[in-house]
Amino acid sequence: MSNPILHLEQLSVRYGNTRALNQVTAKWEGGALGLLGPNGAGKSTLLRSILGLVQAEAGLITVLGENAGISGINVRRKIGYMPERDCWIEGLSAVSGLAHLGEVSGIPSQSALPRAHDVLHFVGLAEERYREVSSFSVGMKQRYKLAIALIHDPDILLLDEPTNGLDPSGRSSMLEAVNRIRKDHGIHVILASHLLPDVEQVCNRVWVLNKGALIRDESLSNLTAAARGAKRVQLQGDDNSRFVQKALESGLLAQTESSTSVVVSKSEGIVDPSEVFDLATSAGVEIAGIQPAARSLEDAFLETLEEEI
């Protein structure tokens, strides 16, 4: 088995009396990881602990095989971080500030400026590169933060709420850019967001955090595929018990919504309507209608949180 990109072992972080992360243990093999959770779940704290911006109370963080607590400098060399809050270097133009941050990350000064121009071009700020960042709009500041994360060409990108404040087209462009970085260049991405469609669009794995605890670690397909192929079956009559029993016997998942409505799904794959008709025939019931019972990541997420409560 390959080395995990990120390995957390019993990670706990505390702010005063508040426990922000509580004994989180998880492994991530790479790709694109979505961090989901309600406000205050510990998403940003997790990202900041990986970077060493907040001190872990206990536990171990290993990034690309290196202990982040011991080799923090080496780990940060490989990580690009897009913080949630706006940030820039005061008194410098966008391109100079970005080149400077590149130099801080170890890019030679003669290469930092051309690199800053390239990255600003990539995030769509080529026209505004000589302006001070403080005069940028919200959307432009978001893109500038992506540039800050990319300037030193990291192996892992940590994005904290990257689409906050963006209009729909800006949001789609941002996610498209992140997808291209990941797919075309193999840069691993960790995306913390409360916007579930963002995670759905970019990530292939999801960690759901709640009150500082990791409550679910699952591939996105596992989390939503069953639901995406689910069918809501309307039955004639008011006794669905035989239908449900037959469905369970066939290895399907059956969830009763009412006496005449059952949602049928598979743990993997899509439920074919012909399977539903076969079930109805064997159960001796008549079907009044079949509809897709699509469940989005949002449904899965809310369901996970409800299970916790």
Amino acid at 54: V
Distance CA 139, CA 145 (A): 10
Q: Which of 37, 43, 81, 94 binds other proteins (CB under 8 A)?
A: 81
Nearest Cα to 163, choosing from 180, 181, 176, 182?
Answer: 176
By beta-carbon proximity to other proteins, the closer residue of 181 and 226 is: 181
Residue 87 lies near other proteins (rule: CB under 8 A):
yes
Asked if 176 touches other proteins (CB under 8 A), the answer is: yes
Site string for other proteins, 142-171 (x = CB under 8 A): -x----x-x-xx---------------xx-
Candidate ranges 3-11, 26-34, 96-104, 277-285; the one touching other proteins (CB under 8 A): 96-104
State yes or no: residue 18 binds other proteins (CB under 8 A): no
Tokens coding 63 = 């990034």
Q: Which residues pair with 208 in a beta bridge?
A: 36, 216
Question: How far lies 306's CA from each of 91, 230, 300, 302, in Å?
Answer: 48, 20, 10, 6
* 261 lies in the binding site for other proteins (CB under 8 A): no
Q: Which of residues 33-72 bind other proteins (CB under 8 A)?
A: 48, 51-56
Q: Does position 134 bind other proteins by CB under 8 A? A: yes
**Sheet holding 253-258: strands in order across?**
253-258, 261-265, 231-235, 287-292
Minimal distance, residue 201 CB to other proteins, in Å = 15
- The runs of H, that is alpha helices, within the chain are 43-51, 72-77, 94-104, 109-122, 138-150, 168-185, 196-202, 220-228, 241-249, 273-283, 297-308
* Interface with other proteins, residue 195, by CB under 8 A: no
DSSP assignment letter at 93 = B
Q: Are 125 and 147 in contact (CB under 8 A)?
A: yes
Interface with other proteins in residues 209-238 (CB under 8 A): none
Binding residues for other proteins, per CB under 8 A?
48, 51-56, 73-74, 76-77, 79, 81, 83, 85-92, 100-101, 103-109, 111, 115, 118, 121-125, 133-134, 139, 143, 148, 150, 152-153, 169-170, 172-174, 176-177, 180-181, 184-185
